[in-house]
Amino acid sequence: MEMNPHESAFRPLMTPAEHALEHRFIHVVGSKVFIDNQPAEERWHQHFLGMHGDVACWGIDVPDGEDPGYGAEMDLRALFGRVSETEWAVAGRAVQLVEWGRTHRFCGRCGEQTKLADTERAYVCQACTLMAFPRLAPAIITLVTRGEGDAQEALLARGANFPVPMYSTLAGFVEAGENLEQAVAREVEEEVGVVVSNVRYVASQPWPFPHSLMLGFTAQWVSGDIVCDPVEIMDANWYKRDELPMIPPAMSIARRLIDDWVYQR
Ligand SMILES: [Zn+2]
């Protein structure tokens, strides 16, 4: 999987670079996307997303009832793995910024109309000046290991909401007032009853469902038998490298954490 920072030649900017040679328009239809090299309608609101190499990328807020792709639009989950990781992240950014615009037309404090700020990406209330920035919810995802060498095992769990019998790393949102290491330890203990230490950051991935940033970690088991939280976890077990169950697809950060572990010896 590509997670090389140099591969992501996408730069989130406020205005298009002057050398933009091409434009790409990511039409956001509901929460689906339809990508074209020209806008279906100039009058629809456009959010500039940034530059992908020399290509200026735009997210277009398609009004309800319009269908510029004649049914060809795809949701982000369906697009996952069909385009490069960078293209997918740009499409996710389009959906998130368009949805942010749709839900911040009025001030959350006084209810008056907002307007986009000139110099930064924010909606500003025209009455009380409250600013609303794009939403981003940090979430941790962790591969927990136990033991050493060939006998080492990883803890993988089947989420209660997984439609297929797939086993993945543990994930959850960061709480206000908590650091990332604390979030890892808390989520692991809440979901499977296991105490961990030696939490180490590995890599991150935007996860636009609806506006998460996944921060990937490894951690080591310290104590405790697996006791699943019945609401979130259907099943969880320790697996050796050569006994893995069905695991998440390539390009997901969960898969990267698992692959790093499998191939590190
Ligand atoms: Zn206000």
Which sequence spans correspond to the domains of the chain?
A: 10-103, 104-133, 137-263
Beta strands in 10-54 (DSSP E): 10-11, 22-29, 32-36, 46-52
- C-alpha distances (whole Å) from 154 to each of 1, 101, 146, 176, 219 are 20, 41, 6, 29, 10
What is the CA(134)–ligand 1 centre distance, in A?
17
What is the CA(102)–ligand 1 centre distance, in A?
17
Contacts of 255 (CB under 8 A, 6+ apart): 1, 247, 248, 249
CB of 4 closer than 8 Å to CB of 206: no
Report the distance separating Cα 83 and Cα 184, nearest Å. 30
Res 3: pLDDT: 47
What is the CA(108)–ligand 1 centre distance, in A?
7
CB of 3 closer than 8 Å to CB of 85: yes
137-263 folds as: Nucleoside Triphosphate Pyrophosphohydrolase (3.90.79)
Cis before residue 210, ω within 30 degrees of 0? yes
The CA-based dihedral angle spanning residues 74, 214, 84, 50, taken in that order and rounded to the nearest 10 degrees:
90
Helix (H, G, I), strand (E, B) or coil at 114: strand
pTM: 0.86
Q: Which residues of 11-37 are buried (b: 16+ CB within 10 A; e: fewer)?
A: eeeeebeeeeeebbbbbbbebbbbbee
The rounded average pLDDT for each run of 10 residues, N- to C-terminus, in the chain (265 residues) is 55 84 94 93 94 94 94 92 90 96 96 94 96 96 96 96 94 97 98 98 93 97 97 97 94 95 86
What is the CA(233)–ligand 1 centre distance, in A?
41
What residues flank ion ligand 1 with Cβ within 5 A? 107, 109-110, 112, 125, 127-128, 130
What is the CA(124)–ligand 1 centre distance, in A?
8
What is the CA(133)–ligand 1 centre distance, in A?
14
Report the distance separating Cα 205 and Cα 8, nearest Å. 11
By C-alpha distance, which of 255, 233, 232, 229 is closest to 244?
Answer: 255
What is the CA(99)–ligand 1 centre distance, in A?
20
Res 7: pLDDT: 53
